Amino acid sequence: MSVIPFDQRDGTIWFDGAMVPWREAKIHVLSHGLHYGSTVFEGERAYGGRIFKSLEHTKRLLRSAELLDYRIPYSVDEIVAAKELVLRTSGLQDAYLRPVAWRGSEMMGVAAQGNTIHLAIAAWEWPSYFDPATKMKGIRLDIADYRRPDPRTIPSASKAAGLYMICTISKHRAENKGYADALMLDWEDYVAECTGANVFFIKDGVIHTPQADRFLNGITRQTVIELARRRGFEVVERRIRPEEMEGFSECFITGSAAEVTPVSEIGPYKFVPGAMTKTLMDDYTAEVQPKAHAA
């Protein structure tokens, strides 16, 4: 099945405050964000015509830009409203949304204090990140060669495009070896995250997840922790050594794209998706669906 390139699709994109034809939403080749990584973005899902945790994603987008030393020239309310406009215009009920901000092309060099800050928002149909027919069997993960960097070397709390370069490399290498994704360690060789999702483990009824102060603290991650504690499950956020994976019985990953996806294998370590993982998958599905309003 052929895939339509993203620059050749129909529809409209919100671009610097106006809805423009999809194919005309372009930037110059000498934009600073392309050359120097001064781009931040969000990945969000809409379910039944409602964008899940739109406010939280918007606040994180603005904070990501601040960490890269610039200010997006729109308020939280303006960005939330723009996303809702994009979703309505798309005609989609279930969709993926991509707000993205970047420094423009006025200055071409490391320093770019005078560059215009741009913002665009697009929406498109995107089904489950992994094959739903085999999802409960669990996906297989490789262990990446690259490490998540020390937060003293890069603003790791920002959802910045430059932080994903090693993620793309790692995912490509994993897929070339037959895996669905790769697990990344941090610079001290503790378990960190996958290339675009956070990771959780289960042992003796207790959920363990890496402490999210060295990589992005995912909004889906935060939601799943809340759902688990609402269920009475104990959740421990801590440093996890790779060799500890041998003793965990279940594993799953979380993210706006991945949602809650079970894992059956990480390198030499095996897991069996079980009742707790299934419960959290179901709870997350129920959480993201628009609630019926009482008459």
Which residue numbers are catalytic? 159
Is residue 122 within 8 Å of residue 86, measured between CB atoms?
yes
Q: Torsion over CA of 40, 76, 115 and 7, rounded to 10 degrees?
A: 50
Q: Which helix (H) or strand (E) holds 279?
A: helix 275-288
Whole-angstrom Cα distance, residue 216 to residue 75?
A: 23
Whole-angstrom Cα distance, residue 199 to residue 201?
A: 7
How far separated are the first and last CA of the chain, in Å rounded? 45
Q: Which helix (H) or strand (E) holds 61?
A: helix 54-67
* Alpha-carbon separation of residue 184 from 48, 170, 212, 221 (angstroms): 33, 8, 13, 16
